[in-house]
A and B are shown apart, each in its own frame.
Chain A
Amino acid sequence: MDDKKRNEAYNKYVKAKLPKTRPWPSLFNSFLVGGIICCLGQGINDLILLWFPNMAEQTAWAYTLIVLIFIASFLTGIGVYDKIGKFAGGGSIVPITGFSNSITSPAIEFKHEGIIYGICVKMFTIAGPVIVVGIVSSILVGIVYLFI
């Protein structure tokens, strides 16, 4: 009985202390930053097609994503992407730049544990599940398409 009361009080305390994200501003910020990152991607894609007019659309997109991944990885390295993330929330996680950030960030964070067990192992702490789920589901889709 006493334990229950204490737990309730504790939960209340935690809830009061947790940083509150006010819904509306954070929704607006994520919309804004997400939209800007996508426009940046479109701009890069347009520039690539302008310089190499004969390039296939699929190839141009692949280069676009690589450029975005490079930018995000670099910004993570110099500590800027975290600041964008604090402001944008989902706006910085959902684009492919967030995927890049999720690989670079732990790689830098755990550098002190060594190249193999620090950088190489930790870079997949977030990206690992993403790649696993992606591979598994795409194989399933492929097998389904085999029969239709």
Chain B
Amino acid sequence: MYYLWVFLIGGFICMLGQVLIIYTNITSARILVTFVLIGVLLEAFGIFDPISSFARAGINVPIIGFGASLAKGAIGAVRAKGLLGAFTGGLEATAGGIAAAVIFAFIFALIFKSKTKN
């Protein structure tokens, strides 16, 4: 049943992105940056976890979740290691995603050819 929440909230967040596209002709880089910032802010103000507890993938799969884990990592590491944590925590928490995106992009770029040019 919680899949309904996942669908509704995930769909709603993505629709917000589409609203930005329609009314501001924003580029995809700006959209991603905007939503990452939203995620960082939601986590910083402690709003992310209450939403995440019922929205689950609905808010973790959108790039907002990426921003939230950056902030969550930084906050957690600051509590554990002090100032150094602010520098190490964010990337530590998101390293898996970034590294995965880089390695898969690299491999598939070696394998596949551009389709749009033909």
Contacts and interface: CB of A to CB of B under 8 A. Distances in A.
Q: Say whether chain B's binding surface is mostly helix, strand, loop, or mixed.
A: helix
A99 B91 CA distance: 16
A63 to B, nearest CB: 8
Contacts of A9: none
Contact of B96 (A66, A90, A129, A141): A66
A41 B67 contact: no
Nearest to A79: B115
A38 B58 contact: yes
A24 to B, nearest CB: 10
Interface in A116-138: 119-120, 123, 125-127, 129-131, 133-135, 137-138
Interface residues on A, range: 35 or more
Contacts, number: 281
A99 B116 CA distance: 19
B32 A102 contact: yes
Interface string B81-106: 01101110111001011101110111
Given A94-B17, A137-B71, A38 B6 contact: yes
B58 to A, nearest CB: 5
Nearest to B97: A65
Contacts of B3: 39, 42
A143 B67 CA distance: 16
B97 A69 contact: yes
Contact of B6 (A32, A39, A74, A133): A39
B90 A21 contact: no
A65 B100 contact: yes
Interface string A62-74: 1011101110011
B34 to A, nearest CB: 9
A64 B100 CA distance: 11
B10 A138 contact: no
Most buried by A among B18, B43, B56, B75: B18
Given A99-B32, A138-B40, A141-B43, A68 B20 contact: no
A108 B113 contact: yes
A24 B96 CA distance: 37
Contacts of B20: 90
A134 B10 contact: no
Which 8 pairs of residues, A with B, have the shortest CB-CB distance? Answer: A34-B14, A38-B10, A142-B86, A90-B17, A35-B11, A90-B18, A138-B90, A142-B74
